Each structure stands twice: as C-alpha cells, then as structure tokens.
Amino acid sequence: MALYLDRIARLDPVLNVFRTVLGDRAMDEAAHIERRLAAGEVLPLAGVPIAVKDDTDVAGVSSMCGTGIDVGPASTDSAAVRRLRAAGAVIIGKTHLSEFGAYPVCESATWGVTRNPWDLYRTPGGSSGGSAAAVASGMVPGATGSDSGGSVRIPAACCGLVGLKGQRGRISTKESPERAYRFHGLNHIGPLARSVVDTALLHDAMTGPEPDDEIPSPPSAPPLMDALVAPTRRLRIAMSFKPVVPVHVSDEVRRPVLETAELLRSLGHDVVERDPVYPVVGIAAVLALFMNGFADEIDRLPKTELLERRMQAEARTSRLVPDWLARRAVAAEPRITARSQRRIADFDVLMTPVLAIPPVRVGYFEGFGPTRAMLRMLKFIPFTFPQNYSGQPAISVPTGIDAAGVPEAVHLVGRANDEATLISLAAQLESVRPWAQHRPPTEALLSQVG
C-alpha cells in the first residue's frame, strides 16, 4: 500500500487525479485485510488498492461530484464500494470528474484539469477521467467509474484501458440514504482496469442486487471469471461506423475498428458491416431521461449558485422536462430498443468506434455555452449512449497506440444480459494483441515533479 501511496504523491501533482487521498485510512484497512486473511477468509481482492469516482459514496467522505458544494460526508458506503470492501479491496481515494459527470472530459472550475498520462495536453476523457488516469499511470491497479452515456468507456478508450459497462442492474447503483437519486436506469457503475481479467474480477466483486434498488436486477449469470476459461465460440459480429447523431467519424478512429475486424476474421469470426437503426424518438427519450434525472439531482443541492455558469444554465433547461415525459420515455424503451436492433438481431456482438474523434486537447469545452458545448459533446458519445438506454452490456477494448502516442480502442456491444461473450472476446483479442505492456511515459512525468 505504501508503494501506491508514494506513487500517488509523486504523480498526482502533475496529473491532478485525486480529489482526496485516504492514506492513513488505507494503511489501516490494509492491516485489517491481513488479519482477515490470517483468520482464513478467502478474499479475491485482498489488499488491492482501488480508486473510487467522486460521485460514488464512501462512508465518512463527501461526494463532491466535481462541484464546490459539500453536503457532508456520506453516512454509508455505496453498494458497489461495500462489495469491493467485502472482497478485500482497500479504498485509497476518490477521483475527479467534470461537474456531475455532465461532460466527457475531466475538468471543473473547482478542481481544475485532470490530464491524460499519455499526453499531458490531452484529456483522459470523462466523466470518469480521474479514475482512468489513476489506473493508466499506475497509481492504482483498478478503479470504479460511472456511466450514464459512455463515462466509463470513453475514458478507458482515451487512456488505453479496459472499461466495462455491464448489463443494467447487474451492479447496484444504490448510494447512501441521503444521496438516493433518480436517473431512470441510465447510470451504470463499472470497472476500469489495465487487463480483461482484472476488469472481470472487479466487475464480479461489485455484482449483486440490493433491497429497494431503483432498477430491478437482471437474470443471474455466472461470474465473468468463468468466461475467461471457456473457449470463445465463433461469433457473428456486426461492424458499424454509423453514429447515432450526425457527426463526422474520423479516419483515426475508423482504422482501429477495421484492423480489429481483420484480426477477428483471422480468428474465425464472421464480421459483416451492418448498421443498427437509431430512431429519432429514441434519441429524444434518452435526452429527456438525462435532463429529468439531472434536474432532480441538482434540485437536491444547497448553494446551486456555486455551480459553473454553464451547469446552472443546463439545470434551468433540464427542469423543463416533466416527470410524466420521463416516465413515458422509460416505458417506451423495450419497443425502441427492439426497433433499433432489428437489422442486427442475428449478430452476437456489435463493434463500433468508441468516440468519433481521438482524445482531444484539454480545454476543448472552455468558453462554450450549453448549446455549443452540447454540439461539441456529440463527437464523444455518438456510439456509447444507446446502451445506457437499452441497458445492454458494452466494453471499450484497447487496440494499441497511434503514431501520435495516443491510445486507440474499439467498442464492443453485447446482447442483453451477455457480458460473458464480451469478456471472452476481449480476452481473445488481448491474447493475440497484448496491450498491457503499453505504458504511458511515466519517467517523463516523474521528471516534471522532480
């Protein structure tokens, strides 16, 4: 534990990853884990330091959610954090995000800019950018993120990590009692890690239902670790470059998908270019749910005048979406999802880019109001937000490093309740195209902090 805390102390002044580091507490927890092991407990994550995104509750620590508004320490751990502790993990700190995770970067007026370990002038993505940068830089071996439109998968792609958004309800999103909030099932908690096996291990540790969950749990499934030892069957994979919204998809993000398609064919899989259908009513439904949920969370806060001006404006707009419209959008999900998947119903996996553009430079949204910022944001999320509405599992998988030294990735979407196929396929890709040996230029970072 001391090794990781020392690494955080040396690297975080450059990367600005952690909102708070729980050093003494982590050391005490590590000692407690040793006692549990000595007593004969079997702990799959024994002593593993984990970073938690600062919108997920850790008992005794405030959840600032990227803002300057402190509503006091959480009374209990979130369900996901409690399960990680039960598996033996040690919570080492809480990581930065954009305000309320509303933007797919990791910058806020209160906490500043979090930087990508691969290129300090680029974003690590978001909104779980602090968690991704923590793992990519080796400050921790794993971290939690939350994903309401791609916020686990986007930073995973920007930082060369595996980022999994499981089936809706597989990991409970239940927080402490004082932070119970409504997000209509869009929000998912997921792991960020360097390898597929670490991702599966973290996901398995957090899996499980909770009483009074906002979203019912899906049908039970075997642990994802089991999928890693089972042979990968021949799969039918639909490849698509069609974005949900009309944005240009750059050649830089197309190329890794095309190269991965050739690799998958060489491994015996059937890869065919086939586009889903994205009904306009589905896009409107997601927007209505996000805005209604965002307004609900904002309205619970004191001192909303401390929010960034752009967020205050977005809150005013979000309040225009009534509850009845959100309920209608939730009720329409099965019909809209079935329509969107009709053309790819006979495929096991959908493969797309993660973003429409490579990781951008920091400050990409600086100086833009809500409308212009939203138009810029569409380039980050045109492939990732449909799965938050449908609830399907999806994973960002690294493919290598481009000529500019920036990580590349592909996005794999599975059938409902079928995380196992995604993990199995990702592990097969990892075995023939290893990426874990690709590390950011850490020594250069260390030289900047003396």
How far apart CA 13 and CA 444 sit, in angstroms, is 14
Average pLDDT score over residue span 113-119? 97
Q: How many CB atoms lie within 10 A of CB 429?
A: 22
Tens-digit pLDDT profile for residues 183-194: 899 999 999 999
Residue 180 reports pLDDT greater than 70? no
Give the per-residue pLDDT at 89. Answer: 98
- The catalytically annotated residue of 98, 151, 172, 318 is 151
Give the rounded percent of residues in the chain with a pLDDT score beyond 90.
Answer: 89
Domain spans of the chain, in order of start: 1-448
Tens-digit pLDDT profile for residues 381-410: 999 999 999 999 999 999 999 999 999 999
3-state secondary structure of 447: helix
How far apart CA 274 and CA 351 sit, in angstroms, is 10
Full-model pTM = 0.97
Residue 448 reports pLDDT greater than 70? no
Q: How many CB atoms lie within 10 A of CB 139?
A: 27
In the block, tokens 């600062």 appear at 54
- The catalytically annotated residue of 98, 127, 240, 390 is 127
3-state secondary structure of 186: coil
- The catalytically annotated residue of 53, 165, 174, 379 is 53
**Known active-site residue 78:** no
How far apart CA 414 and CA 214 sit, in angstroms, is 23
Tens-digit pLDDT profile for residues 326-344: 999 999 999 999 999 999 9
Residue 446 reports pLDDT greater than 80? no
Give the per-residue pLDDT at 225. Answer: 97
Contact (Cβ atoms closer than 8 angstroms) between residue 19 and residue 94: yes
Tens-digit pLDDT profile for residues 240-294: 999 999 999 999 999 999 999 999 999 999 999 999 999 999 999 999 999 999 9
Give the per-residue pLDDT at 397. Answer: 98
Average pLDDT score over residue span 12-36? 97
| Tokens describing residue 310 | 């752009």
**Known active-site residue 127:** yes
- Residue 350 main-chain phi, psi, to 5 deg: -105, 130
Pick the CATH number of 1-448 from 3.30.70.360, 2.60.120.1440, 3.90.1300.10, 3.40.50.300: 3.90.1300.10
Give the per-residue pLDDT at 445. Answer: 66
Query: In which band, very low, low, confident or very high, does the pLDDT at 214 lie, cut at 50, 70 and 90?
Result: confident
Give the per-residue pLDDT at 213. Answer: 86
Alpha helices in 98-212 (DSSP H): 129-136, 153-159, 196-206
Residue 301 reports pLDDT greater than 90? no
Q: What share of the chain is helix, strand, coil (3-state, %, to 5)?
A: 40, 15, 45
Contact (Cβ atoms closer than 8 angstroms) between residue 147 and residue 169: no
